[in-house]
Structure 1
């Protein structure tokens, strides 16, 4: 793969994110959240939150409300027990995705049921394109998804077996082994946010490490080459 630096690609480094350590929870905020506020980083298009959370064993988020937000949780390692006012209750594990349309309002809790293993997860909020929808829940495992390719996690219409959400926001997941190469074409009038959840890679010649992100709002081709085992989330947004 021939990679060249593309001036249209901008980088958001992991150490630029907001950070808090509450003892039971260590968290990094890509965008303004809770006590972290930066007017330059209020979100990207419909993408409002990417929180990189480590929840200690036996700890979690108590019952609390949400409304009018599309909430996606991806478990990088460990497990998380979910309960909500819709009657859903399940332990989601490594490689699994949980989706909740908060809509008119829902209460939920998230708890790490392990006695000895921290849970590492990404909590993602996407602003819906329609308010006050009926709350909805879904989950899907990507633990056995093929490596070295883009796997579609969410989409507006739920195409190709992905989870349907209330927004024109395609979320893609890719796991790459060291030296794996992968490309993504950013189409005209689309906007991409790429989050490197784990590992290291080069993106059009620029080095990214775990927690780094890149974003682009012009038609271009993104060329990735992993330099270690990596996990990438890519948001293709209207």
Structure 2
């Protein structure tokens, strides 16, 4: 087994006033040659957007873009004709493919919006752009991981053009859980949303990230009430 630890306070940080963003991997003005990606996981941004502000219309291509709201309401618009609001308890995916332009704004005038912005390199280039947004509240479980993304359109959650699986877990203190790698050769990036979790003798706290690969499974233990995002991705592309 191999692993890499990214403590929360080692992430890149940008403060634009209206936007406060923390980067687990190189992004925009934050460049770290040792943290360009984890396998096909290219971007994991932890964004806080001021009331009424947001990202103006901008383009993407050949990237799978996932947004997971943590707090507040995120207004999405794109040139595919979608105009939606994404809330906590939902997940959004956009396959940029041959090219798409979109904007993201904090819909509220008096509250922050907080969300995770995640980019994954696809296993197919130049696909027809696609948008999807689903609620994951009905599949949420306690003290066990539940799947919110996969390569399979028939699975729970959303799907992307990549052999990747995302799971969320909400744990009570003292609970343990295990995870088995879905596809041989994949690795897993574990990102702590709340609380303290122990994985392979590593204590992980809020916004810490741990990448592990060359293993078939791992066990985690919650040392407090905790919430975690588990991202399984291919390590080569």
- The interval holding the TM-score normalised by the smaller chain is over 0.9
- Do the aligned partners of residues 199 and 112 (structure 1) sit closer, same or farther apart at CA in structure 2, a change above 3 Å counting? same
Aligned to 1:147: 142
Is the Cα–Cα contact under 8 Å of residues 77 and 95 in structure 1 kept in the other structure? Answer: no
TM-score (norm 2): 0.92
Among 189, 202, 214, the residue aligned to 1:206: 202
TM-score by length of 1: 0.92
Q: Does 1:116 align with 2:110?
A: yes
Matched, 1:77 2:64: no
Q: Is the 8 A contact 1:106 1:135 kept in 2?
A: yes
Query: Equivalent of 2:39, from 25, 42, 45?
Result: 45
Q: 1:170 is matched with which residue: 165, 169, 174?
A: 165
Number of equivalences:
232
Partner residue in 1 for 2:220: 224
RMSD: 1.6
Matches of 1:190 and 1:89, distance apart in 2: 35
1:10-49 superposed Cα distances (whole Å, 9 cap, x missing partner): 3111111101111111110011000000111110111100
Answer with 57-66 or 197-206: which moved more. Answer: 197-206
CA offset at residue 166 of structure 1?
0.6
Superposition deviation, residue 212 in structure 1: 0.4
Tell me how far apart the structure 2 counterparts of residues 143 and 160 of structure 1 sit (CA, whole Å): 15
Equivalent residue, structure 2, for 1:194: 190
Q: Assess if the C-alpha contact under 8 Å between 2:136 and 2:157 holds in 1.
A: no
Cα deviations across residues 89-113 of structure 1 (Å, max 9, x unaligned)?
A: 1111112100000111111111111
Gaps of 5+ in 2: none
Equivalent residue for 2:127, pick from 105, 128, 133: 133
Is residue 46 of structure 2 the alignment partner of residue 18 of structure 1?
no
Deviation larger for 171-180 or 94-103: 171-180
User: Structure 1 unaligned runs (5+)?
Assistant: 1-6
Check if 1:235 corresponds to 2:231: yes
Aligned 8 A contact 2:91 2:157 in 1: no
The answer to which of 221-230 and 11-20 deviates more is 221-230
Partners of 2:4 and 2:210 within 8 A in 1: yes
